Structure 1
Amino acid sequence: MEEINPQPQQNKFGNWLKTSITARMLMVGFLIIILLIPLSFIESLIRERSFRQQDVVNEINEKWGNNVLVYGPILKIPYKTYSEKTTFNETTKTYLKEIQTHVNYAYIFPEKLTTDVNVNSKTLNRGNFESAVFTTDMTLSGFYIPTDLTDKDIKPEDIIWEKASIVMKTSNLKGIKNEVLIKLNNNSYAFQTNYNDENNGRNSRLDILETGFLNQSLINGTENSNFSIKISFNGSKQIELIPIGRTTDMKMKSNWADPSFIGNYLPNDETKEITKNGFKADWKVLHINRAFSQQHLNKIPDLSEFAFGTKFMVMVDEYQKSERSAKYGFLVIALTFLIFFLIQTLSKINIHPFQYLMIGLALTMFYTLLVSISEHSNFLKAYLIAGISVIVLITFYSKSILKTFKFPLFIGLSLTALYTFIYVIIQLENYALLVGSIGLFLILAIVMYVSRKIDWNNG
């Protein structure tokens, strides 16, 4: 029998792959989709390292000191209330009325509260990871006006002046560095922790500090009672104050160059100053600006929603930059393959799918190099080393494929421009979308101009 030779059919299919523009486009698109798999693994690796960094940062902050929130000082005054209890006497068959006395508390906010905050920031390292922490010295001063609770239906004779005290709340009891004293007029009182205070609330995230009993002559008079407190914290993340003064002023000064002002109230624009060496900011909150009064009965209200201050934020850390860079991986691979596709189409030089695959894998290696090197150096140096390594590798590899000097040189320059463009976008915050859109528009225009002479009907 006569044997059928399949060779001509195979040659026909191979020639179609070599000569057909459609076949090359399908092949390049398929390889790009395949390379999305290692890109997704790399993004997962970056997120895993980022989570590991966050765990280390939380551990460092937990030991150094967490965020600082100060609520106080508050004048705590006990007072008597009365209730009538009726019982039935079985022997006399009569009802007996008994007056019972209860002790409740009134909490009085200061008329004026002025806070000066000096913050010294630094970084703590553990292995390849670091956390931004701070030490802050706070001075709180102001005064209370003479207490009058008649509008709360509390008679002066029912107030227990000799058992009045001062309380403060804070979120960072562990971070306090000094013995906390309040100077009330000419008398000093030390604060002690008070975990058993039922008025603190079972679910409160704040710890309470309280002084011993005050000299009643300091608060039961016709003159204002002046106070001052100095307190130092080791902390991290943010510093906040609750504006309990009828007029509350806060001044903050720090060597931190990237503050984020948080809470219900922003600092005054006229006095706010932010430089590369730090910032200064002043706040002023009046009683008319917040929806609570100066006197409260029975318990200290939760006023955390009215807190304001500064968050000491890292604008974009190394892993955030690496993750943002990896999001452009599809764009880098697609544009690089497009350059090789246009060179192959215009010059009639054959490029094998395996060679496309090797170029794509080299492009994905950029991100693993970037992440690993940035853990031991700054992002710019890691980006330069990874970028130069990949560009040189692909340039020399393309020289062996294209057999000329001008095309590899063009590819090297194109990759350099592309990686530079992506680095600029990563560094930008407010203008990243605008610059990226303009850059992509220019790239599209160049591709349209270069490909205008290709005969797309040929294959």
Structure 2
Amino acid sequence: MSMPSDPPKPRAPAPPVPRRRWSLKLLQIILLLLLTLAASWPIAGIVEEREARQSVLREEFVRSWGLRQVVRPPTLAVPYRTATGRGPYYLKLAPRELTTQVTLVPEQKKRGLFSATVYTATVEMTGSVSIPFWPNIEQVVGEGSTIDWKKSVVMMQATELGGMTTDDHIVWNGVKLPWRSCAEAIGSSADCKGAVLVANPNMPPDPSSETDIPFKAMVTLRGTGDFRQILDARESTTIIKAPWSTPSFVGTMLPSRQRVGDNGFEAEWFTVNYAKWLIRSTGTLSENVSLQDCESVGVDLLEAVPTYRMINRASKYTILFVVLSFTVYALFELLSTVRIHNVQYGLLGLSMTLFNLLLVSFAEPLGYAAGYGISTALVLTQATLYTAAVTRRALPTVIFGAVLSTLFGFLYVLLSMETYALLAGSVALFVVLSAVMAVTQRIDWRAEES
């Protein structure tokens, strides 16, 4: 008959780390911290590579769909020759008043896991051009110059003309005119630079001064990213709207009125410049559209959550995750009988650095919010279960899980903030340092010196 075996004896808790060894222990932890951060560099490189791939894809969409659009409103271009016969030059008369209605229809174009924001813009411009008094014109063209009003053209410029339809036209002084390319209408490619639409308005040989000629122009354009309009008019009202909840208003001035909501935005600009009856006198009909030295208004269609920018920002907080995790483990050793091996510190650090790789992997197909939630759940579960195995105690495990979950939650809120991110982060670090100082204030750090 076999004798019953003795029940296993409970495992005695490990003695605390002697104070004399803490200097060496601290140096080892710091070395592990540096090695862990070095191991995170390849992951940071992966994040940067994916962000660069997104930028390359956006450039491909720009080439295939369209550049950002910069639109210059309809202008009456009148050819003339100087008294010595030099020319032809072009006198360009700006609208006296101009009202622009721009409706943007944004789309998300995808290729694989990457995407870019493009739009189709319907632009309607209503206004009038005023023929100035002859003395004002003569000051520009010079005395004795000959103006050929019959060969005048109405011109409108954009960055490029992709997206135009057969319905696009201009109504000039009550007459509907089709848009034509500059080279086709003028017959001289040297006079036509950039994407230019022209129409032949059939002006009288000698129009009366101060005559207002009304017009209404319509054009459909495609672009990527942002849309801008150059303010070439004495009185200009511009209204831009789109079903987009995260616009960024750009240009030389902010909107006079704006409404931004979950269903979209509408912004209005109103400007007055009584000196702008004349744009300029040039030797060519058109010039490349440029924002330099021009008043302009517009909007940039920002991503609601810029995935790769948020991932890049999150990756910069890797050191915070590792340092706080190591600090909590070190406090367990200082304040209790728990003993943690250096290898266990290192494995915990690797678990923290893996968060960034999980984040970019899940955020690309699912979006930033879902990717952050899944990555947080995986790393939090792994690190907490590992802490339970290391400490073999419930209280340290609960404390570690609470600290880590609070850190992940706070980081998500911090990354979502723009204006007060620095303030919130600084206050949080101050609170954490204060908590560590309060917890360790009764430790006799001088014991190792005796």
* Pairwise TM-score range, normalised by the shorter structure: 0.7 to 0.9
Normalised TM-score (structure 2): 0.87
What displacement does 1:303 show?
Answer: 6.1
- Aligned counterpart, 1:162: 150
- Secondary structure of the equivalent of 2:419? coil
1:119 to 2:110 alignment: no
Deviation at 1:19, TM superposition (A): 5.8
Structure 1 counterpart of 2:208: 221
Tell me how far apart the structure 2 counterparts of residues 298 and 338 of structure 1 sit (CA, whole Å).
Answer: 70
Partner deviation per Cα, 1:250-271 (whole Å, 9 max, x = no partner): 0111111111111112111xx3
Pairwise CA distance, 1:318:
1.1
Q: What is aligned with 1:372?
A: 361
- Displacement of 1:218 in angstroms is 9.3
What corresponds to 2:280 in structure 1? 296
Residue 280 in 1 paired to residue 272 in 2?
A: no
From 345, 349, 356, the equivalent of 2:338 is 349
The equivalent residue for 2:36 is 35
In the alignment, the residues of structure 1 paired with residue 148 and residue 312 of structure 2 have an alpha-carbon distance, to the nearest angstrom, of: 62
Equivalents in 2 of 1:129, 1:153: separation in Å?
A: 54
Native 8 Å contact 2:168 2:219 kept in 1: yes
Q: 1:107 aligns with which of 79, 89, 92?
A: 92
Q: 1:219 to 1:30 in 2, by over 3 A?
A: farther
Alpha-carbon offset, residue 125 of structure 1 = 1.4
Q: Deviations over 1:165-219 (max 9, x none)?
A: 1111110222334453211112222222225443455xxxx422222x3312398
RMSD over aligned CA atoms reads: 2.3
**Corresponding position: 1:233 with 2:221:** yes
For residue 102 of structure 2, give the secondary structure of its aligned residue in structure 1.
strand
Letter of the structure 1 residue corresponding to residue 391 of structure 2: L
> Where do 1:262-281 residues align within 5 Å?
262-268=250-256, 271-281=257-267
Residue 150, structure 1, aligned to residue 151, structure 2: no
Within 2, Cα distance between the matches of 1:140 and 1:192? 17
Q: Distance in 1 between matches of 2:347 and 2:36?
A: 10
Q: Deviations over 1:315-351 (max 9, x none)?
A: 5411111111111100110010000001012113221
Measured in 2, the distance between the counterparts of 1:425 and 1:219 equals: 67
2:432 paired with 1:431: no
Q: Tell me the percent identity.
A: 26
User: Runs of 4 or more off by more than 6 Å in structure 1?
Assistant: 15-18
Cα distance per residue 1:434-454 (max 9 Å; x no partner):
111111111111111111122
Say if 2:237 and 2:271, in contact at 8 Å, map to a contact too: yes
Q: Secondary structure at the match of 1:367?
A: helix
In 2, are the aligned partners of 1:165 and 1:210 still within 8 Å (CA)?
Answer: yes
Give the counterpart letter for 2:228 in structure 1. E
Shift of 1:155: 6.5
Tell me what 1:75 maps to.
76
Taking a change above 3 Å as real, the CA distance of residues 54 and 17 of structure 1, as seen in their structure-2 partners, is farther
For 1:34 and 1:121, the matched residues in 2 are separated by 46
Task: Give distance in 2, aligned partners of 1:266 and 1:175.
Answer: 28
**What CA distance in whole angstroms lies between the structure 1 residues aligned with 2:220 and 2:368?**
34
Report how far residue 153 of structure 1 moved.
4.9
CA distance in 1: counterparts of 2:417 and 2:206, whole angstroms: 56
Q: Is the 8 A contact 2:233 2:276 kept in 1?
A: no
The number of residue pairs the alignment matches comes to: 420
Within-5 A mapping of 1:124-203: 124-147=109-132, 148=134, 149-154=137-142, 158-195=146-183, 196-200=188-192
| In structure 2, C-alpha distance between the alignment counterparts of 1:443 and 1:325, rounded to whole Å | 19
- SS in structure 2 at match of 1:349: coil
Q: Give secondary structure in 2 for the equivalent of 1:140.
A: strand
Q: List alignment gaps of at least 5 residues for structure 2.
A: 1-15
**Separation in structure 1 between the aligned mates of residue 387 and residue 109 of structure 2, nearest angstrom:** 45
1:445 correspondence with 2:434: yes
Contact 1:17–1:24 (Cα < 8 Å) also in 2 = no
Specify the SS of the correspondent of 1:220.
Answer: coil
Q: Secondary structure, in 3 states, of the residue corresponding to 1:151?
A: helix
SS at match of 1:74: strand
Q: Give TM-score scaled by structure 1 length.
A: 0.86
CA contact (8 A) 1:170 1:207 kept: yes
**Deviation of 1:72 (Å):** 2.5
Counterpart contact for 1:169–1:208, Cα < 8 Å: yes
